[in-house]
Amino acid sequence: MLSASGCAFGQTRAPTESGMRPMPDIGISAGPRVEAAVTLLGSAGLPTEDLARLSLEHFFFAGPAEAPTGLVGLEMLGDVALLRSLVVAKPLRGSGAGSALLDHAERHARTRGVKVLYLLTTTAERFFAQRGYVHAPRDSAPAAIRATREFSALCPSSSAFMSRQL
């Protein structure tokens, strides 16, 4: 994603059920406040237990720092990374903000040498599939991904495991 704050998106297009539409211009900043990230993630029922121990250097947010309206994070693990906690506040869901945050995370990972991005989801399989992610067997996960708390403990074994070549 972004190592400085204030990145805006222009006319990138996001898929919708009825076709393609322009993504909104949203400012995306790096390094959200832990408390604000926990609040937004908690409101969506996403794991927060390990955020305090993680560096949020590779986490990005949209909206005000004290109350972000969108958030995405990466757990960087060499040439692979785990996409963490993509969330958009309910009033902005369907606006393209999630696609903009995901696109930003993917660019950030790519520029840092990540070749494959992995994720776990219980609710957003369709969203990620529409953006090029494919299902993978959990036992095919690289050791670095299997060693993360999100993979090994926080997400249920019923979570969809997906990946995308960058």
What is the total count of domains within the chain? 1
Average pLDDT value for the chain:
80
Element at 111 (helix H, strand E): helix 97-111
Residue 2 lies in a domain: no
Residue 7 lies in a domain: no
20 or 90, higher pLDDT: 90
Owner of token pair 């005000």: 64
Q: What pLDDT shows up at residue 18?
A: 38
Q: Which residues pair with 60 in a beta bridge?
A: 30, 72
Share of the chain above pLDDT 70, in %: 81
Residue 63 lies in a domain: yes
Q: What pLDDT shows up at residue 153?
A: 64
Residue 1 lies in a domain: no
pLDDT at 9 over 70: no
The pTM for the full model equals 0.79
**Amino acid code (one letter) for 19:** G
pLDDT at 53 over 70: no
Least confident of 41-50, 117-126, 127-136: 41-50
Residue 60 lies in a domain: yes
54: CB partners within 8 A, 6+ apart: 73, 75
Q: How confident is the model at residue 25 (pLDDT cuts 50, 70, 90)?
A: low
Q: Domain containing 159: what range?
A: 13-165
